[in-house]
Structure 1
Amino acid sequence: MSDPRRYLPGDRPAKTEVAQAIRVDHAGEYGAARIYAGQLAVLGRGANGDLLRHMQAQEQHHLETFNGLIADRRVRPTVMLPFWHVAGFVLGAATAALGDKAAMACTVAVEETIDAHYRSQVETLTDEPALCETIETFRAEEVEHRDIGLEHGAEQAPGYRALSRLIRAGCRAAIRISERL
């Protein structure tokens, strides 16, 4: 049964909320896979190459799951995918070009933002237990990525605080844009 406080006159229908969640999560996982592709292009042969490939493989699994949900639920993907394709790769390659620690700082900033985003979705999508379970599983892996980044010196990256704030702001903007377009 739905929470009576949740749906008020003028609220968007639950189906619209679910479609929006799937659309933005698909876009986010697409962007994450592209970030890791950019990082691997620069650092793939380095000491953290296997670690980056591990995280990319998990993001690829997340993306494939949301590809399936997009098709099964007949959700329109964001029109921003071509932009996220380029922007994600550039962000990954640019931070990797600054060094291993900057690449890990990027990972931490992105995953902290996604952790908060996924938590919010789980609180909102109470009528979608299977979707929430998927989101929770993926959220745990995103937190794992954040922890890996912290363990590998993210906070020692030059300009960590500024870089982190900039990336988190960009992620939040990408979420808002992908929800709507």
Structure 2
Amino acid sequence: MRQISLADKLIMLADNSLKTLAGGYQTSNRVKPASQSGQQTEELTAEQAKHSAGLMRINHCGEVCAQALYQGQALTARLPEVRDKMEQAAIEENDHLDWCAERLQQLDSRVSLLNPLWYLGSFSIGAVAGAIGDKWSLGFVAETEHQVVRHLDDHLQKLPEKDSQSRAILMQMREDELQHATNAIAAGGAELPGPVKGVMQLMSKVMTSTVYYI
């Protein structure tokens, strides 16, 4: 088999980046959560739709960051099996990107204009984490996913009661994120130091407070 060169990796990286930000990414054949929620769609008021859109824009941006994180780690991961896990997780996260983007369109809204900025920052963090060592890279994934789950729990409380479609999406995303965290720990992920977790939480607050509007 032909060995993948650095140039090949960079081309693949550029392709993945463009697909993450502009669309065209590969998704699974799973039935979309909103399609199987089993609940009748109810009309949202303009204010409710605007609020749901703000929350779903945050979740979409979070998935952009997750993609960037996984792609950065896969680029610098040392063990092939760890790199494979990162790439598989990135494919599974594409479903979340697709679901959130589609729901934003249904709410007559758009994705965040800040997505490229957050992608770049998350990719850089992922690449550094992968270069430091696989156990820390996996630990970073686990902590990221746990923080995402906490955000999803918060958003499930804040969503308008009538917005059953967005709720179904977030519930499935929550289940997937928990599984990714569990897989990362089982693969040897180390628990991150408290100060690192604190910085991650601070960055998350900055992202959520800006992307809700922009």
Q: Equivalent residues in 2 for 1:67-146 (5 A)? A: 67-125=101-159, 126-146=161-181
Distance 2:163 2:102 in 1: 16
Is the alpha carbon distance of 1:164 and 1:101 closer, same or farther for their aligned partners in structure 2, counting shifts above 3 Å?
farther
1:102 and 1:160 in contact (8 A); partners too:
no
Q: Write the deviation string for residues 64-99 of structure 1: whole angstroms up to 9, x where unpaired.
A: 222222333221321211201211211111111111
2:48 is aligned with 1:14? yes
Alignment-mate amino acid for residue 99 of structure 1: G
Given residue 169 of structure 2, which amino acid in structure 1 is its aligned partner? T
Whether 1:49 aligns to 2:56 is: no
CA 45–155 in structure 1, closer or farther in 2 if over 3 Å, else same: closer
Structure 1 runs (4+) deviating above 3 angstroms are none
Query: Does the 8 Å contact 1:105/1:164 carry over to 2?
Result: no
Letter matched to residue 193 of structure 2: Y
CA RMSD of aligned residues (A): 1.9
Alignment partners' CA distance in 2, 1:100 and 1:86: 21
- The answer to whether 1:176 aligns with 2:209 is yes
Offset at residue 171 of structure 1 (A): 2.0
* Contact preservation (8 Å) 2:78, 2:131: no
**TM-score, reference length from structure 1:** 0.84
1:148 deviates by 1.7
Provide structure 1 residue ranges, at least 5 long, that are not aligned to the other structure: 1-11
Unpaired stretches in structure 2, ≥5 consecutive residues: 1-45
Q: Deviation digits for residues 119-153 of structure 1, max 9, x if unmatched?
A: 11112222211211111001111111111222233
2-side partners of 1:15 and 1:66: how far apart?
Answer: 14
Deviation at 1:45, TM superposition (A): 5.8
CA distance in 2, matches of 1:78, 1:57: 21
Equivalent of residue 149 in structure 1, options 161, 184, 202 = 184
CA contact (8 A) 2:57 2:104 kept: yes
Aligned partners of 1:24 and 1:179 also within 8 Å: yes
- Indicate conservation of the 8 Å contact 1:106/1:167, yes or no: no
Q: What SS does structure 2 have at the residue aligned with 1:13?
A: helix
Q: Paired residue for 1:166?
A: 199
Which of 60, 63, 87 in structure 1 is aligned with 2:97?
A: 63
Residues 45, 64 of structure 1: alpha-carbon distance in 2 compared, 3 angstrom cutoff: farther
Aligned length: 168
Distance 1:178 1:31 in 2: 12
The sequence identity of aligned pairs, in percent, is: 18
Contact 2:63–2:96 at 8 Å: present in 1 too?
A: yes
